[in-house]
Every structure is written in structure tokens, then in C-alpha cells.
Chain A
Amino acid sequence: MAHDTATAPVHIAVDRGHAALPNAPIKIRARDVNVFYGEKQALFDVSLDVPENSVTALIGPSGCGKSTFLRSINRMNDTVAGCKVTGRIELDGEDVNDRSIDPVVLRARVGMVFQKPNPFPKTIFENVAYGPRIHGIASGKAELEAIVESSLKRAGLWTEVADRLHQPGTGLSGGQQQRLVIARAIAVSPEVILMDEPCSALDPIATARIEELIDELRNQYCIVIVTHSMAQAARVSQKTAFFHLGKLVEAGPTGEIFTNPRDSRTQDYITGRFG
């Protein structure tokens, strides 16, 4: 699906109502980020600002480093053996790679949604309650139930699962699973939500629901989304960054990137000449 949109001639209507917020406060500030997997360098001197309360889309061809960048923000790259990150990634002015920052706290503040829906083999309730439980956020059973309910509501899943909270989360459809995972992520009230191609495993209808959801969540969270689909980037994001071969080619308000790219590579990519 992503492939289709990438090669088709582009007629993307950019929603002007979402016009980028040039003056919004900066939530994440990346400066000269380099990432190495062993000998291989995956990211080269990436510097990018991610504004608060908005959706920032990272686009680019496969293997361009956009997911790598995303995973550097919540330090998921730490789990990869032989991975090294240099440069600064600031969250509210603090370097996430600083010794004083605990990845546990960081990841509580920065939630993540993956490409393939990955609900735990537990009940729907337990899936959403997972974060609050491990972090000790809810002080009692009632509060936990309230958190689960409101998270599911925000993820737009409540009406579908309210009567089967205690059935396995793996029994839901793909789109429902992905919304369940989003509910799980927001249950701890993170400040940032990272989404790594959240719709690539979903059908168009489920994709549309997730996109709506992303748009609703934008008001409360800073969202960074990696996507293969330029149409999706155009639909949901206010800011877009184009990655190519491990380098950030250009970044700017989504409208500008799609209508008036400055770099010829961006131009080629969004018009489907490669990717």
C-alpha cells in the first residue's frame, strides 16, 4: 500500500487547517545525531526540532534511517547490541543520552507504537493496565479501572471492547489491536508518542481510524510518526522531515515540503521517481 502511493503521481491536498505551527514550543531538539550499528553508520549528523502538540512525520525510502532516528529518541537502540549514538537529543532541554536520565523514566515519558500490533498475550484490561502497574501510577483498583477506561476511550476502542475487557487482547482484529496498543501507550500519560509505521500492517479502513485517532491525540501529545506513505504524512502531520541514506535532507511544515520542496531529492521522492 505504501508502495502504491509512493509511485503514483502525487496529487496531495494538504489540509491548510493543520498549517504548521512555526512558533510552537520545541519538545524534542536533536543536534548532530550519528548512529552506528557496529562498523556501519546508519545516521549522519541529523539535527531536527519536533514541536509540542503536533504531529511530525518522518518520511523517506526504506533503510533511510528514519526508524533508527525514532528509536534513538526513547533509547530503544540501547537494546540493540553494538549500537552507538552520538550527538544530542534533548527532551525538554535535557539530553536523553545523559547519564542522569534513566531509560525507564524516559520510556515512561516517551511512548512508542510499533509497526506490527504487539498486544501482550494477556487480557485487554491487563494490556492497558500494564504501564500503570509497572510504574505504580494507579493508587488503587478503582483508579486503575478509571485509567484503563479513559485510555481505551481516547484510543476510540472503548465501545468495541467494553463488554470483553477480560478477554485476550490477541483476539482482536489487526486495527483494534493497534488501537489497543495505542491505548496501552497513553495509559501512562506520556508526553511524546513515537509511532513506527503504525498502519503498514493494516487495511485502509483500519488505517483511516488510526489516522483520525492520531489527529485527535495531537492536542495533548507530541507525536512523531514514521511512515512510508506520503499521503498519510500529508494527511496527519504538521511538520515533515525527509530522510535519505541516513541523512536528513530537509524538514519543514508539511505543506511546504509537499508543495514546494527545496531539495531535488525530496522532489524526486514525493513525485515517485524513487523509493
Chain B
Amino acid sequence: MLTWIALTALLLFSLATYMAGRRRAVAVTAGKPAQLHSLPGYYGSYAALWAGVPAALLILLFAMFGGRLEAGLLRVDPPAAVQELTAPQQDVFYDDARAIARGGTPSETIYDGALKTALEDKAAKSQQISSLIQYGSIGLGAILALAGVFIAYPRISPQFRARNKVEGWVAGLFVVCSVTAILTTAGIIASLVWESWRFFQAVPVHEFLLGTEWNPQIAMRADQFAGAGAFGAVPLFVGTFLIMLIAMMVAAPIGLFSAIYLSEYASPWTRSVVKPLLEILAGVPTVVYGFFAALTVGPLFRSFFNWIGAQLAGGSFDGLAQYLMQVQNQMALVAGAVMGIMLIPFVSSLSDDIINAVPQSLRDGSLAMGATRSETVKKVVLPAALPGIMAALLLAVSRAVGETMIVTMAAGLQARMTLNPLDTVTTVTVQIVTLLTGDQEFDSPKTLSAFGLGLTLFAVTLMLNIVALRIVRKYREQYD
């Protein structure tokens, strides 16, 4: 709250500086602003930038990292009673102290005796430190703002190239913004690699990538965590692959054929109706597909297979019938099919773009030879568009592999090595969600394994994307 007030004050101060700088620029020319190198507004902006930006950055930095700073300072000079606690207990203790200081709700741990006094003491201290940080940062900000004015204000003279200086600031802002994208990637890679590295110290990489048994629950007991094969991710990869395969079997033909129909056959009117409708399908949040899969498609498929089982029961396929009668709601087929529906508009719009990029002259050439439209599509357009379509399908595969909500809601949790679409399987993303929701202890291999899975997922999808995007780029250049 205080931070916001300070920032607002700083903004007002910058505005005032702007006005003052502008006025001074006019004043130094003795009433002939035409002598100025730049428009008076630029002089104002120059002064305002110096006054506002460094101070604002400082205040924001403290607001962002003040909490960590405070937590660190709070641990200096621990009372004797606290020193006796184990490391996790100490963490809880300090968290509680900070929670009390902020009027939040502490954990349900019961402190008594020396610990209680220590807690109250630390809570008071926490309050002190945080207000010190807050007021300190605001004070420093005020000094910086004044210093900025003192730097910028005297420089205002008719020869001063204010516009170029201001544009320099703008250029800096530009670079900062575009670097954000790089920083995001770096952040993703760094956090995934760092946490995975911690995980791989507990579980060897080869065991994780090649092991065929996935049972992270065992790790709950600290003495048992590296139990052989408990973190073998192969069943998850198999499950992910199976669901992806089913999804692509639904999405690829339907998406591709709708793209072909829309770009080669449909009248402009049909296009103008169907395309927005497909966009709606594409815009439906994945959690809605998950709901649809779990409560509509799952029970529907289940009762269908159970019914078939009941019909076959007692006959020569009795084994199969018994199996079919026990099929559950949560089968790979349900998640895969619904994911396929989700991917239809994705495949269709990407392929539509690709097919439209095939020059009309090729179609004309084929039609003028007496080919029918379908022959033209099959023998000329599709072969020409093939690389692009492959890339579109790769992007769809990448989407399918990384899709989370549908599988979380409609696939199961049992890690199994099976390619039977009627079985319950689990996927990489489902496991990440399961491992990271609910109570977690951040240092256990169980939690960290989620980052191992995340890293694998990121690596695989990144590879698919890079390959696909490169193909698309080449393809577009070919017909540009």
C-alpha cells in the first residue's frame, strides 16, 4: 500500500519536473523557443525521466525482493530455543513469525515457553525490519529523484539535444522489453534445469528416463525414497504417447479434410460461417473439454463398452466380454478422443493457411489439364503443401503432448505400460499436476520429480516446435 502511495507521489513529482523543465527550456531562450534544438516538451520529458525512472526502479526492486531480504535478516541472531529446532521446523517458525507480523494466519503449530516469547519477539522484529525496508526504500527513492532533477535540470540549454537523449531512453526501454522474451526462456530453462538437477541427485537420470515403474508415493517416507524404479518415467511417456496418438487419429483426418474443403470447395459464404464456428471450438478453454470428457464422453464410452461386453458375455469371446464389462470412465480413449476434438480447429486452421499459400497458378495449371478438383488437390496441391502440413501436424503433436487439463480430468493416475486405448493410463502432465498440487514439501524428490518431468516435456515440445517452425519458415519462403 505504502509502495503505491510512494509511486503515485513519484509520478506527480515527475509531472511537476516535466512542467518545470519545459518552462525552463522556454526561459533559457529568452522567449524564442525556435532557438531550441528540440521541442520544449522533450526538455521536460528529459528532466522527468531522470527524476522518475531510477527512483521508481529502486522502489519496485525493494517491493519485489523486500520480502526475501526481510526473511533473510530475520534469521540473523536466532534465539537459543529456535536453534534447537530442526531446519524445517525453523522454516515454519519464521514463516509463522512473519505471518503474525502481517496479521495473517500462522500454521497450527503450538509454541510454548521460550519458543512463544521468541516467536513474539521475532514477529515484532519482522514488523520493524519490514517497515525499515519500506521507509528506507522510499527515502532512498526520494534522494534518487532529487538527484535526478539536479543532474538533468542544469543541462537544459538551447544547444542541448534533448530529443536524442529522450529517444535514447526510449530505445533502452525497447531493448528491455524485447529482452523479456529471452529472459522468459532463460527463466524456464534455468528453473527447470536447476530443480531437475536437484532431483537427479536423488534419482539417477537413466533410472528416470529408462525405468519402467512409476510410483512417486513411496518417496513420502524419507528412508525409502530412492527405492529402485519408483521414479521410472517410461510408463508416463507411453501413456502420453498413446493419448497423443489417439488424439492425432481424430484430429489429423478431420482437421485436414475440413481445411481442404474450406480452401478448395467451400463458397465464400460457407467459409465465412464455418471458420468463425471452428474458431469458437478453438477458443473453448481446455478445462471445459476436460469437463466434457469426464462427465459426458467418459460415461458414454463406458456404458457403450459395458453394453458390448454384456452382449458378448458367455459367448466364445467371454474373456474379452469380462474385460469390456469392467472398463472404467477414465480410459485413454476418452482423453485422446476429446483432445482430438480440441485439436481439430488447430490442425484445420494451420493447414488452411498452408494450403492457401500454394499458388493458384498450380491449381489452374492442373485444372486446365482436365484434372478434377480432387485430382488437383491430391496430386498437385497436397504434394506441394506436404512439408507445411507435416509441420502443422508436428505442432499439433506438441500441443497434444503438453495438454494438461483434459488428461488431468479424464485420464487416470495409474502409471501403466499399455497401448490398449481402453485402459487407464497417466501422462507426464497429469503427474506434474498431481505432484505439485496438494500438500508439498519442496525438497522431497517427489515434488522435484515434477520438474524432471517438466524439463522432459519442455525439451520434447521445444524440439517439435523448432523443427516444425523451421519447416514452415522454409515453406513460406518457397512461395513468397
Task: Say if the two chains contact directly (CB < 8 Å).
Answer: yes
- Whole-angstrom CA separation of A114 from B369 in the bound complex: 12
A91 at the interface (CB under 8 A from B): no
Whether the pair B370, A104 counts as a contact (CB closer than 8 A) is: yes
| Chain A proximity of B355: nearest CB distance (Å) | 14
Contact of B370 among A118, A120, A134, A181 (CB under 8 A): A134
- Whole-angstrom CA separation of A131 from B365 in the bound complex: 11
Q: Which chain A residues border B366 with CB–CB below 8 Å?
A: 120, 130
Query: Using an 8 Å CB-CB cutoff, how does the interface string of B167-191 with A read, 1 for contact, 0 for none?
Result: 0000000000000000000000000
| Chain A proximity of B107: nearest CB distance (Å) | 67
Name which of B60-68, B235-243, B283-291, B371-379 contacts chain A.
B371-379
Name which of B26-34, B35-43, B356-364, B430-438 contacts chain A.
B356-364
B:198-218 near A, CB below 8 Å: none
- Whole-angstrom CA separation of A106 from B368 in the bound complex: 9
Known contacts A120-B380, A120-B384, A134-B375; is-contact A79 B364 (Cβ 8 Å): yes
Q: Which chain B residues border A131 with CB–CB below 8 Å?
A: 369-370
Residue on A nearest B358 in the bound complex, by CB: A121
A238 at the interface (CB under 8 A from B): no
Whether the pair B379, A130 counts as a contact (CB closer than 8 A) is: yes
The B interface is mostly helix, strand or loop, or mixed, namely: helix
A:160-188 near B, CB below 8 Å: 181, 184-185, 188
Known contacts A81-B268, A130-B366; is-contact A118 B372 (Cβ 8 Å): no
Whether the pair A130, B362 counts as a contact (CB closer than 8 A) is: no
A142 at the interface (CB under 8 A from B): no
Whether the pair A121, B370 counts as a contact (CB closer than 8 A) is: no
Known contacts A121-B383, A130-B379; is-contact A76 B367 (Cβ 8 Å): yes
A205 at the interface (CB under 8 A from B): no
| Chain B proximity of A106: nearest CB distance (Å) | 8
Q: Which chain A residues border B268 with CB–CB below 8 Å?
A: 81
Whether the pair B367, A188 counts as a contact (CB closer than 8 A) is: no
Known contacts A81-B268, A134-B375, A134-B379; is-contact A118 B369 (Cβ 8 Å): no
| Chain A proximity of B392: nearest CB distance (Å) | 18
| Chain A proximity of B122: nearest CB distance (Å) | 74
Whether the pair B361, A112 counts as a contact (CB closer than 8 A) is: no
- Whole-angstrom CA separation of A81 from B265 in the bound complex: 11
Whether the pair B384, A76 counts as a contact (CB closer than 8 A) is: no
A3 at the interface (CB under 8 A from B): no
| Chain A proximity of B405: nearest CB distance (Å) | 40
- Whole-angstrom CA separation of A35 from B79 in the bound complex: 97
| Chain B proximity of A271: nearest CB distance (Å) | 34
Whether the pair A107, B383 counts as a contact (CB closer than 8 A) is: no
Interface size class of B (residues with CB under 8 A): 20 to 34
Q: Which chain B residues border A121 with CB–CB below 8 Å?
A: 362, 383-384
Contact of A79 among B359, B361, B367, B383 (CB under 8 A): B367
Query: Using an 8 Å CB-CB cutoff, how does the interface string of A108-151 with B read, 1 for contact, 0 for none?
Result: 10011010101111100000001100110000000000000000
Whether the pair A81, B267 counts as a contact (CB closer than 8 A) is: yes
The A interface is mostly helix, strand or loop, or mixed, namely: helix
A:181-198 near B, CB below 8 Å: 181, 184-185, 188
- Whole-angstrom CA separation of A118 from B361 in the bound complex: 6
Whether the pair A111, B369 counts as a contact (CB closer than 8 A) is: yes
Whether the pair B369, A108 counts as a contact (CB closer than 8 A) is: yes
- Whole-angstrom CA separation of A73 from B459 in the bound complex: 57
Whether the pair B359, A118 counts as a contact (CB closer than 8 A) is: yes
Q: Which chain A residues border B361 with CB–CB below 8 Å?
A: 114, 116, 118
Query: In the complex, which of the residues A103, A106, A108, A130 has the most CB atoms of chain B within 10 Å of its own CB atom?
Result: A130
- Whole-angstrom CA separation of A135 from B364 in the bound complex: 17
Q: Which chain B residues border A116 with CB–CB below 8 Å?
A: 361
Known contacts A81-B268, A118-B361, A130-B379; is-contact A111 B368 (Cβ 8 Å): yes
Known contacts A81-B267, A134-B375; is-contact A188 B362 (Cβ 8 Å): no
Whether the pair B370, A114 counts as a contact (CB closer than 8 A) is: no
Q: Which chain A residues border B375 with CB–CB below 8 Å?
A: 134
Q: Which chain A residues border B371 with CB–CB below 8 Å?
A: 104, 130, 134
- Whole-angstrom CA separation of A203 from B365 in the bound complex: 22
- Whole-angstrom CA separation of A108 from B366 in the bound complex: 11
Q: Which chain B residues border A122 with CB–CB below 8 Å?
A: 383
B:371-417 near A, CB below 8 Å: 371-372, 375, 379-380, 383-384
Q: Which chain B residues border A130 with CB–CB below 8 Å?
A: 366, 369, 371, 379
| Chain B proximity of A192: nearest CB distance (Å) | 12
- Whole-angstrom CA separation of A108 from B375 in the bound complex: 14
Contact of A118 among B365, B379, B383 (CB under 8 A): B365
Q: Which chain B residues border A112 with CB–CB below 8 Å?
A: 364, 368
| Chain A proximity of B262: nearest CB distance (Å) | 14
Query: In the complex, which of the residues B368, B369, B371, B380 has the most CB atoms of chain A within 10 Å of its own CB atom?
Result: B368
- Whole-angstrom CA separation of A118 from B362 in the bound complex: 6
- Whole-angstrom CA separation of A79 from B365 in the bound complex: 12
Q: Which chain B residues border A76 with CB–CB below 8 Å?
A: 364, 367-368
List, sorted by A's number, 30 A–B pairs whose CB atoms are closer than 8 Å.
A74-B368, A76-B367, A79-B363, A81-B268, A103-B370, A104-B370, A105-B370, A107-B367, A111-B368, A111-B369, A112-B364, A112-B368, A114-B364, A114-B365, A118-B362, A118-B364, A119-B365, A120-B365, A120-B366, A121-B362, A121-B383, A121-B384, A122-B383, A130-B366, A130-B369, A131-B369, A135-B370, A184-B369, A188-B369, A188-B370
Residues of A within 8 A of B (CB): 74, 76, 79, 81, 103-108, 111-112, 114, 116, 118-122, 130-131, 134-135, 181, 184-185, 188
**Additional 9 contacts, C-beta under 8 A, given A134-B375, A135-B370:** A74-B368, A107-B369, A107-B370, A111-B368, A114-B361, A114-B364, A116-B361, A119-B365, A134-B370
